[in-house]
């Protein structure tokens, strides 16, 4: 997987700590660190404790020679949570294996015209989605993030948009406070107000086809939300994959003692072992590196 080196343009304000700019590798490392804590049942129902945020900041600082604080980690985590909320709501055409939301060219072009801020989530691999899902779980499909089958894809609650730090909002208000017409997957052909010239009436067959498309989008979105809200299946009781040790011992950059100790840790924590086995290669390296840095400080 390509490593992104551009900085995250969303800057978080950490109280008196000032602004913190996060690069993509720093964000990936932070999310991996916190996802590992969740795998150990460290996260509470109200989020991460201050000590865990401070520990994460320390790990980021040691890895990238930065000066992040626990408060800045907390604020950056909120930014990632907002991104994860958008990813969850845009999961039409979802590719579970590669974490990609796929739209055909016509729908993509029409949708992005009115929702420029969502373009970064469409037709490309969503970096760090696996870690976000581990951290935030199914909470994005409940409460203020819940969507029903009649909700238009791309619409958002006002309070969510007010919190967004990105200057590109999903929709804009005109001078009279009325919503301007922006094309989306469910409202193409609509006009922004009654005062504008009426468009020609859509033919019967075309109108039926449009209704069918909207219905399919609503049904697929409802199905995705239903799956997200469903209780997770019970963890399998079987042992770790047979080739886990061979895969682990062949990772470059670590000595045999370090890898053997990490394998003992995975054997003692089979849930984490199975999660580690299914990670992309670069994330496996980050998990092992983080473990080694904790157990072998200074190496």
Mean pLDDT by 10 residues, the chain (299 residues): 39 53 93 87 74 94 94 92 78 69 78 81 78 70 39 42 40 42 44 47 54 66 67 61 84 82 86 87 86 76
Identify the sign of the CA torsion 107, 110, 114, 119.
positive
Residue 71, pLDDT score? 93
Residue 138, pLDDT score? 54
Residue 6, pLDDT score? 38
* C-alpha span between 48 and 135 (Å, rounded): 10
Residue 67, pLDDT score? 94
* C-alpha span between 99 and 70 (Å, rounded): 29
104-110 long-range contacts, Cβ below 8 Å, gap at least 24?
107/185, 110/183, 110/184, 110/185, 110/188
Other C-beta atoms lying within 10 Å of the C-beta of residue 109: 11
Residue 254, pLDDT score? 81
Question: Which residues does 295 contact at the CB level (< 8 Å), separation at least 6?
Answer: 258, 261
* C-alpha span between 13 and 273 (Å, rounded): 36
Residue 283, pLDDT score? 87
Residue 213, pLDDT score? 62
What Cα–Cα distance (Å) separates residue 94 from each residue in 87, 133, 262? 10, 14, 34
Residue 58, pLDDT score? 95
């Amino acid at each position: 997987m390509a490593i992104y080196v551009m900085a995250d343009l969303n800057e978080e304000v950490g109280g008196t700590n000032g602004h913190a700019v996060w690069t993509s590798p720093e964000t990936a490392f932070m999310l991996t660190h916190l996802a590992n804590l969740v795998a150990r049942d460290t996260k509470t129902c109200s989020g991460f404790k201050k000590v865990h945020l401070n520990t994460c900041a320390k790990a980021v600082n040691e890895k990238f020679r930065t000066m992040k604080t626990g408060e800045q980690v907390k604020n950056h985590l909120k930014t990632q949570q907002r991104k994860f909320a958008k990813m969850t709501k845009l999961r039409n055409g979802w590719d579970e294996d590669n974490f990609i939301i796929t739209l055909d060219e016509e729908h993509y072009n029409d949708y992005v015209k009115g929702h420029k801020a969502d373009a970064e989530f469409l037709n490309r691999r969503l970096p760090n989605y696996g870690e976000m899902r581990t951290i935030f779980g199914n909470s994005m499909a409940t409460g203020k993030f819940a969507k029903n089958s009649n909700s238009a894809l791309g619409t958002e609650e006002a309070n969510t948009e007010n919190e967004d730090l990105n200057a590109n909002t999903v929709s804009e208000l005109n001078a009279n406070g009325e919503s301007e017409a922006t094309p989306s997957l469910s409202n193409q052909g609509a006009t922004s107000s009654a005062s504008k010239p009426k468009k020609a009436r859509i033919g019967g067959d075309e109108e039926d086809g449009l209704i069918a498309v909207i219905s399919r989008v609503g049904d697929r979105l409802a199905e995705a939300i239903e799956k997200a809200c469903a209780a997770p299946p019970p963890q399998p009781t079987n042992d770790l994959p047979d080739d886990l040790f061979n895969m682990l011992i062949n990772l470059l950059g670590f000595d045999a003692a370090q890898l053997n100790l990490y394998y003992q840790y995975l054997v003692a924590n089979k849930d984490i072992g199975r999660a580690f086995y299914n990670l992309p290669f670069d994330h496996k390296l980050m998990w092992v590196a983080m473990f080694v840095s904790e157990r072998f400080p200074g190496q």
